Chains A and B, each alone.
Chain A
Amino acid sequence: MSDYILDMRGIVKDFNGVKALDGIDLKVRAGEIVGLCGENGAGKSTLMKVLSAVYPHGTWQGQIFWEGKELKAENIRQTEEAGIVIIHQELMLVPQLSVAENIFMGNEITLPGGLMNYSAMYKRAEELMAELKMPDVNVALPVFHYGGGHQQLIEIAKAINKKAKLLILDEPTSSLTKSETAILLDIIRDLKRKNVACVMISHKLDEVAAVCDTVSVIRDGTHVGTRPMSEIDTNEIITMMVGREIKNLFPREEHPIGDVFFEARNVTCLDVNNPARKRVDNISFKLRKGEILGVAGLVGAGRTELAMAIFGCYPGQSSAELWLDGKKIDVGSPRDAVTQGICLVPEDRKRHGIVPLQGVGANITMAVLENYAKFGTIDAEAEMAQIQKSIARMRIKTAAPNLPIKGLSGGNQQKAVLSKMLLPKPKVLILDEPTRGVDVGAKYEIYKLMFELVKEGLSIIMISSELPEVLGISDRVLVIGEGQLRGDFVNQGLTQEQVLAAALGHTEELAA
């Protein structure tokens, strides 16, 4: 059909045999705004990377037709020349360079001899800024002078300057304030009038509903449906996004739950780069003894930041009031947290969990090494006895306890990091995405272990992006969206739709 500017047909992309995309279609007309929706890991970003040739032609199957002709781009430069420009969630600006220099990066206007033609670039940059209704921006100033909202628009100016006919926006508003978001959505509508098409990936369904003409939903790498926005509402989108059964992967076991044991009050975290924005906005919650508290929410909702603030390792400014076993506790560093009985198994195993060059054993005993030492000298044998006990309990598969941990599989590394954080005998254990990148077998063992631990009286906070996991394991579910507490549900008859609706900020409609 010729009125489509973009026509992607049957896109299949696999990573080592795992299909991330399994036959996806996506069509965009000139000047149309298409919302692309799906849960975490549904394949949205992968699809956009296929389109923008981050994955070059030939590394995936299927066809892309661009303005009626098949597109076989080898790299991003070629897709940009064709007029497809992607703006990533993490902005790609160089903060120390000026606005104009950023806009023209890679496309500099030059004088003979390769000198920068600053006057021409400033003039054009000012035109672009005026076009985007930001005439106040001084294009000669470094980008870091401007906040996240302006930076997003500078990225768009950069795209317009490349004569983009199709703009791909990956979570464009995730780091913006409300008013900045409003401006951005206006600009997108403006571009539409200039016949620039737009694919917007967003978790914020009200924004999708506000600007999009069409919505495409994908789930687990397959295309669920494409509908005009006029025909559906956000609740239907949610149903399309979830649409799957919870399989019996979760070895749920009955366990007694005691009184409130831990309480966090008024946890607030400010964004590191944009302190006007709150990553976590005044969240309070309670945790009972022997309870598994699931924390659900979309990526970037502020769940990890909440955990970091409680553990005393949030990199920016944060404040929290913590009560443990009836006493107020002060946590200024991970060390404080560990000694007072709060342990965290971090989300990013490679960066925050393992010490790659050290042995499995040394990783396991890292947090409690002092306990196996006299006058600072390690009792290697006592330590080894504990290591072997931990390895046996968690069934960590390693040829020898002193082999570097980097050689282990993701699941076994995760079990080792878990063992490490169990040795200080925590009272509250925070697990941030405990089963990410872990195979099914190890997942099952980790769930088993969690139930064993709560039976021993431990309280667990589990952050997870996988809704089936949250519903399959938790006793209670906290839902976080855009840094705010959006729901606190007892996990009885709770559905994925309810949780997702709360995460997206649609509680009122559902309650009604």
Chain B
Amino acid sequence: MKLSSKDLQRFFSQYKIVTLLFAVVVIWVFFNQMSDGYLTPRNFSNLLRQMAITGMLASGMVFIIIAGEIDLSVGALLGLLGGVGAYMDYYLHLPMWMTISTVIVLGILIGLWNGYMVAFARVPSFIVTLSGFLAFRGILLGITKGTTIPLESAGLVSIGQGYLPIMLGNIVGIIIFVLLAFLAFKTRAGRAQHGLAIAPLWQDVSKLAAVAAMIAGFVFTLNAYEGIPVPVLVTLIILGVFSFMANKMVFGRRIYSIGSNLEATRLSGVNVRAVKLIVFGIMGLMCAFAGLTTTARLAAASPSAGNLGELDAIASCYIGGASSRGGVGTVYGALIGALIMASLDNGMSMLGVDSFWQMIVKGSILLLAVWVDVVSGAGSDR
């Protein structure tokens, strides 16, 4: 059989995930050749921790991009929320639960505000969030007066620096596997109940076996160092919840359909404004998580925290296969995008590459990824 360019296109758009994982492996192998100690449990743990913050932002951002919008304010909002958390902890000496819940509520409210301006006041999201990009950073500078605020509470610090005890890590791995197995068999039962065709049992079982091997490898590698880092665990939970939302929930389906054709969705009787509002609310929540994690990781809130974080998050989404025209994208894609960015950062830092080179390489990778996407014809003929 001749392999035409059309077949190649189909392969790329269907197995984008494979292509992306392949890219990750290439990057890892490359840096491992160039420097000792890249592929060690210790560095793997570091790498994932680095990736977690961008990953949290990218998880929220991918919904925004799928819905056909953009959010430029997330880096500044991350900084602001992290600053508010540190302020409450250091100056007001509030208990940890109060700090965390206030920051989360504030994040959601600011996200909803952005969403309100976009969906109901009909200001383009680029403008709304560009204004946030400036204003949120300004508020942060006002609160911190341009200085760094340290953290007092050890509990807060552990959000960013802590590890899950080894035993607990193993249990988490087992829980994830049991959950996935349960979902697979529930699907089978459901299909049988409605008289739909069921895939052969061996297919599902071998899929689950592959998943089990991956989870085991992941957990054992991290446990070989100190355990699963808390931010990584949070990111994994977000991945699970958001993937479920995207694939199994009405809300997720609505996000994709709005991004693909807003008018047709509205004319089908869907409340498209509410969907957009909530998407921005979720983005605010992600900023709260990322802000707390950033502050905790550094044990202090710096006025420049999260600087350019929005661009890393947006780049991750595009590298991970989201379409700039909306309607296309996945949460795991965005996270792999974040992983690619973090792997490059981490590897080049280990090699002692100048930071200006790092920026050039990251910029080029973004262009390359989207160019491949365009050439492979994903989302064409709209």
Shortest CB-to-CB span from A405 to chain B, Å, is 10
Shortest CB-to-CB span from B381 to chain A, Å, is 7
Cβ–Cβ contact A381 & B196, under 8 A: yes
| Contacts known (A358-B260, A366-B257, A380-B248); A352 close to B267, Cβ less than 8 A | yes
Query: B117 — which chain A residues lie within 8 A by C-beta?
Result: none
Shortest CB-to-CB span from A361 to chain B, Å, is 11
Query: A370 — which chain B residues lie within 8 A by C-beta?
Result: 250
| Contacts known (A358-B256, A373-B250); A381 close to B264, Cβ less than 8 A | no
Shortest CB-to-CB span from A164 to chain B, Å, is 38
Within 8 Å by CB of A352, from B190, B254, B264, B271, lies: B264
Is A356 positioned at the interface, with any CB of B under 8 Å from its CB? yes
Query: A421 — which chain B residues lie within 8 A by C-beta?
Result: 268
Cβ–Cβ contact B327 & A344, under 8 A: no
Find residues 349-382 in chain B having any chain A CB closer than 8 Å to their own CB: 379, 381-382
Cβ–Cβ contact B268 & A420, under 8 A: yes
Complex CA–CA separation, A421 to B268 (angstroms): 7
Shortest CB-to-CB span from B6 to chain A, Å, is 13
Is A382 positioned at the interface, with any CB of B under 8 Å from its CB? yes
Shortest CB-to-CB span from B308 to chain A, Å, is 31
Cβ–Cβ contact A385 & B196, under 8 A: yes
Shortest CB-to-CB span from B309 to chain A, Å, is 29
Shortest CB-to-CB span from A145 to chain B, Å, is 24
Cβ–Cβ contact A424 & B269, under 8 A: yes
Find residues 369-385 in chain A having any chain B CB closer than 8 Å to their own CB: 369-370, 373, 376-382, 384-385
Find residues 228-284 in chain B having any chain A CB closer than 8 Å to their own CB: 244, 248-251, 253-254, 256-257, 260-261, 263-271
Query: B267 — which chain A residues lie within 8 A by C-beta?
Result: 311, 313, 334, 344, 346, 352-353
Cβ–Cβ contact B264 & A353, under 8 A: yes
Within 8 Å by CB of A381, from B194, B251, B271, lies: B194
Find residues 310-349 in chain A having any chain B CB closer than 8 Å to their own CB: 311, 313, 333-335, 337-339, 344, 346
Is B156 positioned at the interface, with any CB of A under 8 Å from its CB? no
Is A117 positioned at the interface, with any CB of B under 8 Å from its CB? no
Cβ–Cβ contact B193 & A362, under 8 A: no
Is A277 positioned at the interface, with any CB of B under 8 Å from its CB? no
Is A494 positioned at the interface, with any CB of B under 8 Å from its CB? no
Query: A362 — which chain B residues lie within 8 A by C-beta?
Result: 253, 257
Within 8 Å by CB of A356, from B193, B260, B268, B269, lies: B260
Cβ–Cβ contact A335 & B248, under 8 A: no
Complex CA–CA separation, A240 to B267 (angstroms): 39
Shortest CB-to-CB span from A323 to chain B, Å, is 20
Find residues 76-132 in chain A having any chain B CB closer than 8 Å to their own CB: none
Cβ–Cβ contact A338 & B268, under 8 A: yes
Query: A335 — which chain B residues lie within 8 A by C-beta?
Result: 269-271
Query: A354 — which chain B residues lie within 8 A by C-beta?
Result: 261, 264
Counting chain A CB atoms within 10 Å of each CB, which of B194, B195, B261, B269 scores highest?
Answer: B269
| Contacts known (A358-B257, A366-B270); A376 close to B190, Cβ less than 8 A | no
B192-213 near A? 1/0 per residue, CB < 8 Å? 0111100000000000000000
Query: B327 — which chain A residues lie within 8 A by C-beta?
Result: 355, 357-358
Find residues 314-367 in chain B having any chain A CB closer than 8 Å to their own CB: 327-328
A379-406 near B? 1/0 per residue, CB < 8 Å? 1111011001000000000000000001
Is B93 positioned at the interface, with any CB of A under 8 Å from its CB? no
| Contacts known (A335-B271, A362-B257, A378-B248); A355 close to B191, Cβ less than 8 A | no
Cβ–Cβ contact B194 & A378, under 8 A: no
Shortest CB-to-CB span from A364 to chain B, Å, is 10
Determine the main DSSP class of A at the interface with B. helix
Complex CA–CA separation, A355 to B248 (angstroms): 18
B48-80 near A? 1/0 per residue, CB < 8 Å? 000000000000000000000000000000000
Query: B268 — which chain A residues lie within 8 A by C-beta?
Result: 334, 338, 366-367, 420-421
Cβ–Cβ contact A376 & B251, under 8 A: yes
Cβ–Cβ contact A381 & B263, under 8 A: no
Cβ–Cβ contact B260 & A357, under 8 A: yes
Complex CA–CA separation, A421 to B191 (angstroms): 25
Cβ–Cβ contact B269 & A382, under 8 A: no
Query: A380 — which chain B residues lie within 8 A by C-beta?
Result: 187, 190, 248
Query: A69 — which chain B residues lie within 8 A by C-beta?
Result: none
Query: A352 — which chain B residues lie within 8 A by C-beta?
Result: 263-264, 267
The count of chain A contact residues (Cβ–Cβ below 8 Å) is 38
- The residue on A at minimum CB distance from B245 is A376
- The residue on A at minimum CB distance from B273 is A333
- The residue on A at minimum CB distance from B193 is A381
Is A247 positioned at the interface, with any CB of B under 8 Å from its CB? no
Shortest CB-to-CB span from A332 to chain B, Å, is 12
Within 8 Å by CB of B263, from A344, A351, A377, lies: A351
Query: A334 — which chain B residues lie within 8 A by C-beta?
Result: 266-269
Query: A388 — which chain B residues lie within 8 A by C-beta?
Result: 196
Query: A406 — which chain B residues lie within 8 A by C-beta?
Result: 381-382
Counting chain A CB atoms within 10 Å of each CB, which of B187, B194, B266, B327 scores highest?
Answer: B194
Within 8 Å by CB of B253, from A356, A378, A381, lies: A378
Shortest CB-to-CB span from A386 to chain B, Å, is 9
Query: B249 — which chain A residues lie within 8 A by C-beta?
Result: 373, 376-378
Cβ–Cβ contact B257 & A378, under 8 A: no
Complex CA–CA separation, A373 to B250 (angstroms): 7
Query: B190 — which chain A residues lie within 8 A by C-beta?
Result: 379-382
Cβ–Cβ contact B187 & A357, under 8 A: no
Complex CA–CA separation, A339 to B195 (angstroms): 30
- The residue on A at minimum CB distance from B194 is A385
Counting chain B CB atoms within 10 Å of each CB, which of A344, A351, A370, A381 scores highest?
Answer: A381
Query: B382 — which chain A residues lie within 8 A by C-beta?
Result: 356-357, 406
Within 8 Å by CB of A351, from B195, B264, B379, lies: B264
Complex CA–CA separation, A142 to B249 (angstroms): 49
Shortest CB-to-CB span from B136 to chain A, Å, is 30
- The residue on A at minimum CB distance from B263 is A352
Query: A384 — which chain B residues lie within 8 A by C-beta?
Result: 191, 194, 196
Shortest CB-to-CB span from B285 to chain A, Å, is 17
Query: A379 — which chain B residues lie within 8 A by C-beta?
Result: 190
Complex CA–CA separation, A85 to B297 (angstroms): 69
Counting chain A CB atoms within 10 Å of each CB, which of B249, B264, B267, B382 scores highest?
Answer: B267
Query: A366 — which chain B residues lie within 8 A by C-beta?
Result: 253, 257, 265, 268, 270
Cβ–Cβ contact B263 & A369, under 8 A: no
Complex CA–CA separation, A369 to B251 (angstroms): 10
Counting chain A CB atoms within 10 Å of each CB, which of B261, B268, B270, B328 scores highest?
Answer: B268
Query: B263 — which chain A residues lie within 8 A by C-beta?
Result: 351-352
Cβ–Cβ contact A356 & B261, under 8 A: yes
| Contacts known (A357-B327, A379-B190, A384-B194); A339 close to B261, Cβ less than 8 A | no
Binding site for B on A (CB under 8 A): 311, 313, 333-335, 337-339, 344, 346, 351-358, 362, 366-367, 369-370, 373, 376-382, 384-385, 388, 406, 420-421, 424
List 15 interface pairs A-B (beta carbons < 8 Å), by A numbering.
A334-B268, A339-B269, A351-B263, A353-B264, A356-B260, A357-B256, A358-B256, A358-B327, A369-B250, A376-B249, A376-B250, A377-B249, A381-B191, A382-B194, A421-B268
**6 nearest A-B pairs in the assembled complex, by CB-CB distance:** A338-B269, A381-B190, A385-B194, A357-B260, A367-B268, A355-B261
Binding site for A on B (CB under 8 A): 187, 190-191, 193-196, 244, 248-251, 253-254, 256-257, 260-261, 263-271, 327-328, 379, 381-382
6 further A-B pairs in the complex, CB-CB below 8 A; given A334-B267, A366-B270: A355-B265, A358-B253, A366-B257, A367-B270, A381-B193, A424-B269
